Amino acid sequence: MYGAALKQLETKIDIINNEFKTLHKYNPIEHVSSRIKSKESIYKKLKKKGLEPTYENLVKTINDIAGIRIICSFIPDIFKIVEMLENMTDITVIKKKDYVTTPKTNGYSSYHLIVSVPVSLSMGTINVKVEIQIRTMAMDFWASLEHKINYKYDKQIPKGIKKELKECAKMTQKLDKRMSHLGRNLMEEEKQIVKEITTEYSTVYATALLTGNAGV
């Protein structure tokens, strides 16, 4: 059921991306990946929560068994994608965590949505929870390195490395802001060029109409 929910969501995200490309002439999503949490990881998470490893506890308390990660170019894209997902009538947003506006104390930044997706099986329709993480390439770079370091030190990262990671996170945030600013300027320039071409074309066409040369 988790695999089916992921497939459905991936299709929806693909549709969002194509719609965005058509409407705004640019592609907000760099890439999308999905995964189903490993048994070991589910077991560890239940243990951490002080719960027995039962099917009921797993379904009720673990929100990220099925996970999708959406990587964008710029910070504003994250919020646009969140808005588009929220507007979809066939998925329900259960929970939102905005670590983009307010990063975690360790520096982690990303937008998390827990959504419920209806999956039709032969025995009926069930609602399946999926975690969607939306972040920029820079945020993803930081998070994947921090994840590896965490794994290496079994979540007991030495103080010096923690400090270094926090500084890197600050640099990542600055880089994201500057890149988003550059991206916005570039898009404004492109819009202006399209506007100028359209205006020029309209003038030429109107003149042609008035002089009876519209066919030309």
Q: By the criterion CB under 6 A, which residues form the site for ligand 0O2?
A: 37, 41, 45, 63-64, 97, 104, 106, 108, 112, 143, 146-147
Residue 141's alpha-carbon distances to 108, 148, 214, in angstroms, are 11, 11, 54
Q: How far is the CB of 133 from ligand 0O2 (least distance, A)?
A: 6
Q: How far is the CB of 35 from ligand 0O2 (least distance, A)?
A: 8
Burial classification of residue 70, based on how many CB atoms lie within 10 Å of its CB (0-12 exposed, 13-18 middle, 19 or more buried): buried
Q: Is 131 a catalytic residue?
A: yes
Q: How far is the CB of 208 from ligand 0O2 (least distance, A)?
A: 59
DSSP state at residue 38: -
Q: Which is nearer to ligand 0O2, 73 or 133 (CB)?
A: 133
Q: Which of 56, 59, 19, 17 is nearest to 37 (CA)?
A: 59
In single-letter form, the type of residue at position 16 comes to: I
Q: How far is the CB of 170 from ligand 0O2 (least distance, A)?
A: 15
CB-nearest residue to ligand 0O2: 108
Catalytic residue among 56, 86, 131, 196: 131
Q: Which is nearer to ligand 0O2, 21 or 148 (CB)?
A: 148
**Residues 120, 101: contact at Cβ < 8 Å?**
no
Task: Identify the residue whose tokens are 């070991």.
Answer: 40
**Residues 42, 65: contact at Cβ < 8 Å?**
yes
Q: Which is nearer to ligand 0O2, 149 or 187 (CB)?
A: 149
Cβ contacts of 58 within 8 Å, gap of 6 or more: 42, 46, 65
Distance between CA atoms of 210 and 216, rounded to whole angstroms?
12
Q: Which is nearer to ligand 0O2, 20 or 165 (CB)?
A: 165
Distance of CA 21 to the CA centre of its chain: 16
**Residues 49, 78: contact at Cβ < 8 Å?**
no
Q: How far is the CB of 100 from ligand 0O2 (least distance, A)?
A: 13
In single-letter form, the type of residue at position 146 comes to: E
Q: Which is nearer to ligand 0O2, 20 or 37 (CB)?
A: 37
Q: Which residues form the catalytic set?
A: 131
